[in-house]
Amino acid sequence: MPSLDVEQLVSEMAGAARGVLKSKWPAVQSFAESEFRKLGETVLLIGREVEKDEISEVEAESLLDMQKNAMRSVLLTIEGLGILAAEQAINAALEVGKPIINAAVGFALL
């Protein structure tokens, strides 16, 4: 199995996620990087076990599928944290706009 640079993997995956999430990235950065690192290290471990004949290729394939499913879960959580950050921004904006809007309509609309 070719060698895998976990740090490079983490950095590239984090870079891709940061590009999509933009301003929401700081809210998810530590979680995303730590989980990407764990997954990278596990993939590395699977490769080493195959080389040592500790696990078969069929077992390795199933284990890699499990890591892919785990990666999907991490990405779903990142998406959820991004939505929560957006929700927070909307509510903060509404809160700030509250007195201005209430004054404009002449009653406590918000």
How far out from the chain centre does Cα 43 lie?
Answer: 18
Tell me the closest approach of the beta carbon of residue 48 to other proteins, in angstroms.
10
Site for other proteins in 66-85 (CB under 8 A): 66-67, 69-70, 72-74, 76-77, 79-81, 83-84
Alpha-carbon gap, residue 108 to 106, rounded angstroms: 7
23 binds other proteins (CB under 8 A): no
4 binds other proteins (CB under 8 A): no
Residue 84: its H or E element: helix 57-105
Q: Is residue 47 within 8 Å of residue 89, measured between CB atoms?
A: no
Site for other proteins in 89-108 (CB under 8 A): 90-91, 94, 101
86 binds other proteins (CB under 8 A): yes
